[in-house]
Every structure is written in structure tokens, then in C-alpha cells.
């Protein structure tokens, strides 16, 4: 829509003004790492963070949430919807791509009213990554180093003494008009931004040995790869990889009843396809009893199934699963090994 400039000395005022009208969450330091959390004091906000332990997904699909309350005697049920107006500030481009996928998942075919209520009341402010998070990230290979159109409201780029603000939606435009002291970008600003964006590109390495466009086809011919057995033998089935993943959205539900045994609520909580009983169904059949089968399933979700279903990749290259895995199972080594087995590494 437009490009605005907010001087850095005015950024604190912008955030403080938003804090008066919304719950503002953003990257905060936690010991030597970063987490997305509520910003109550400007000093807590670290827009120059590398990565966060959990992705900002947790504010759209919380680890635990109540779906409805019920009374077991009267059979009354009441929806519990969390639609608190929220600004998620400082979302990296890989995490924006992940939210774009979640938006498809939770509104295509079946509208998930809890996700949608939060999403509609959330303003997303992205931030351009100018350096790779660390050795684990492979966003450039996955095509997520630039923000996805139609997903964010505002997108910030650090241009030295100011932030350039790409205004993408009406909501974002209103936020700037209402809460920021901003001016229109001029020719000099455009030149600076273009220089910064072209200079950043070589800093990010390609990690995949092939073009990501080939990934779904590679997966299709990798069903019987011996790699799945090898991964299954070392995987601890801890579920850390899926818990930290911005594109994983599997959940389970259970009813929680109070001491009266009448009032209760239905809870939705994150689940993991890597856990033992994930695919166990009534009657006792387990569709994926071995760790090898669960690893294969996970990587097919990342490399093929989501692309088939939504036209979007199921992995955005954030590197969180590789950082979290104690036995160093990563998408890069897995996909590259499948490619090597298929081609001998020859492009
Ligand atoms: S699979 Fe790993 S690298 Fe890919 S999006 Fe999930 S956590 Fe990030
Ligand atoms: S984090 Fe590693 S060990 Fe744990 S379930 Fe995932 S792949 Fe297996």
C-alpha cells in the first residue's frame, strides 16, 4: 500500500501507544535466549533478536486453550472465545510464512472459530531479517527470506537511524496513523532500503543441495528410503521437534471436570506425531507404531503433504527443530540425504 519512515527515537512512543490499546507481544530475552511474550515495559522488547524458542504461533494456537465450558447435569455448553485485541510485533519472515500456512489450515474446508477469532483480532508486524539467525536456519533455501504478501499488516526494515514500514493492510495503515509519528518515504529512503536488501542476500547461505521446488517430487520417490529406519533408530520420540515448529498444528482434546463432577470445560492442547500413541485409534490399532514410520510421516508433512493440500511448504526453514533435537535430526540433513540417495548428489 505505502512505505512510511519511523525514526528510531520515535519507535518507543509508537510501541507505548499501541500498549495502551492492545496486548502487545514481541521478542523478549530469557536468559541467553529469546521468547515471544507480553511487552509491558519498552526495555523488554528486543527487535534485534536472532530466534525464539517457540514461534509466535502460540498466540494464535495456544499450547492449551478452553474451547467451551459445559455443565454435565443440564447439558448446557458455552463457547469460550479468546479475541483479545493483540499486536504481535517483530515477527521474522519465516514465521510469517508459517502463519500464512496456518491461516489456510484453519479456514479452508472447516473454519476453526477459535483460531479465526484470535487471528481477526491480531495485528501482525513483521521485521526483515538482515542476518541469519544461526547455522541452523535455512530460510533462503525454503524461499522464506522475504515476507509473504497478504499475511502481515506492517513490516519493518531497520535502515539505520529509522525503520522503514511497509504498510500492507488498512488495519496497519490505521495503526500507523493513530499511534506513530511517521512520514512518507522519499527517493533517498527507497535507495537506502534497496541497498540494505540487496546487501543482506549474500549473507544467507543456501543449505539445500537442490532447488526447493523439487522437494515434493523428491519426497514422492522416497517412501521406501532406508533413511527412515536409520532416523527411527536414533530418534528419542520426545516430540521436541514438533513442539517448537511454527508449522505444526496437530492437537488433541480432553474434557476437564471440576471437583463437583458437573462443571467442566473442553481443552485443546498441542499434540505431536512423534509421540508413541499419536496414531493409536479405538480398537487398539496404531497406524504408525514405529519411530521410523513417525519420522517418515513428519518429513512427508514438511516436504510434500502441505504443498499438495495448500500449495505452501510445510517447512519454512526456521531451524528450530534442528536446535531442539538432541540427536541432531534436521530437515536439511534429511532432505539432502534423500537427494543424495536419489541422484548420487549430481544436480
Ligand atoms: S520443520 Fe523445523 S525448520 Fe522446518 S519449520 Fe518446522 S521447526 Fe522450522
Ligand atoms: S526432537 Fe529429535 S529425538 Fe525428539 S522426536 Fe524430534 S527427531 Fe526425535
SS (H, E, C) 181-234: CCEECCHHHHHHHHHHHHHHHHHCCCCCCCCHHHHHHHHHCCCCCCHHHHHHHH
pLDDT of residue 135: 95
**Counting atoms of ligand 1 from 1, which one is nearest the CA of 138?**
3
pLDDT tier at 347 (50, 70, 90 boundaries)?
low
17 SS3 class: helix
In this prediction, residues 211-240 reach a mean pLDDT of 97
pLDDT of residue 16 exceeding 80, the answer is yes
CA of 167 to the centre of ligand 2 (A): 39
CA of 281 to the centre of ligand 1 (A): 27
pLDDT of residue 103: 97
In this prediction, residues 236-250 reach a mean pLDDT of 98
pLDDT of residue 345 exceeding 80, the answer is no
Distances in Å between the alpha carbon of 25 and those of 10, 38, 40, 57?
19, 4, 9, 12
**Counting atoms of ligand 2 from 1, which one is nearest the CA of 239?**
5
* Ligand whose nearest atom lies closest to the CA of 247: 1
Q: Which three cell numbers stand for residue 28?
A: 523478549
Residue carrying C-alpha cell 530466534:
51
pLDDT tier at 42 (50, 70, 90 boundaries)?
confident
CA atoms within 13 A on the CB side of 196: 19
Q: Per residue in 187-216, pLDDT tens?
A: 999 999 999 999 999 999 999 999 999 999
CA atoms within 13 A on the CB side of 18: 31
* Ligand whose nearest atom lies closest to the CA of 302: 1
Amino acid at each position: 500500500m505505502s512505505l512510511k519512515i519511523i525514526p528510531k527515537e520515535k519507535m518507543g512512543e509508537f510501541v507505548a501507544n499501541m500498549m495502551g490499546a492492545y496486548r502487545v507481544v514481541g521478542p523478549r530475552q530469557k536468559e541467553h535466549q529469546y521468547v515471544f511474550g507480553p511487552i509491558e515495559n519498552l526495555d523488554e522488547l528486543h527487535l534485534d533478536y536472532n530466534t525464539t524458542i517457540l514461534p509466535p504461533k502460540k498466540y494464535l494456537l495456544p499450547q492449551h486453550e478452553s474451547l467451551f465450558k459445559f455443565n454435565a447435569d443440564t447439558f448446557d455448553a458455552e463457547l469460550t472465545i479468546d479475541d483479545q485485541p493483540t499486536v504481535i510485533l517483530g515477527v521474522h519472515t519465516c514465521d510469517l510464512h508459517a502463519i500464512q500456512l496456518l491461516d489456510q489450515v484453519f479456514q479452508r474446508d472447516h473454519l476453526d472459530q477459535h483460531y479465526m477469532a484470535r487471528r481477526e483480532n491480531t495485528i501482525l508486524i513483521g521485521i526483515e531479517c538482515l542476518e541469519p539467525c544461526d547455522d541452523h536456519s535455512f530460510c533462503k533455501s525454503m524461499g522464506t527470506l522475504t515476507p509473504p504478501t497478504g499475511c502481515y499488516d506492517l513490516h519493518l526494515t531497520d535502515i539505520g537511524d529509522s525503520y522503514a514500514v511497509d504498510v500492507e493492510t488498512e488495519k496497519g495503515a490505521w495503526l500507523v496513523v493513530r499511534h506513530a509519528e511517521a512520514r512518507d518515504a522519499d527517493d533517498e529512503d527507497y535507495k537506502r532500503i534497496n541497498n540494505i536488501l540487496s546487501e543482506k542476500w549474500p549473507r544467507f547461505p543456501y543449505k539445500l543441495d537442490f532447488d526447493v521446488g523439487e522437494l515434493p517430487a523428491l519426497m514422492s520417490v522416497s517412501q521406501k528410503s532406508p533413511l527412515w529406519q536409520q532416523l527411527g533408530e536414533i530418534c528419542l520420540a520426545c516430540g521436541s521437534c514438533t513442539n517448537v515448529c511454527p508449522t505444526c498444528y496437530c492437537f488433541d482434546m480432553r474434557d476437564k471436570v471440576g471437583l463437583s463432577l458437573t462443571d467442566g470445560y473442553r481443552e485443546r492442547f498441542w499434540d505431536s506425531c512423534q509421540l508413541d500413541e499419536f496414531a493409536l485409534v479405538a480398537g487398539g490399532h496404531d497406524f504408525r507404531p514405529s519411530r521410523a514410520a513417525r519420522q517418515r510421516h513428519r518429513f512427508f508433512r514438511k516436504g510434500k503433504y502441505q504443498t499438495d493440500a495448500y500449495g505452501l511448504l510445510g517447512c519454512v526453514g526456521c531451524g528450530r527443530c534442528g536446535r531442539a533435537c538432541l540427536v541432531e535430526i534436521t530437515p536439511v540433513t534429511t532432505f539432502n540425504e534423500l537427494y543424495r540417495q536419489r541422484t548420487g548428489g549430481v544436480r
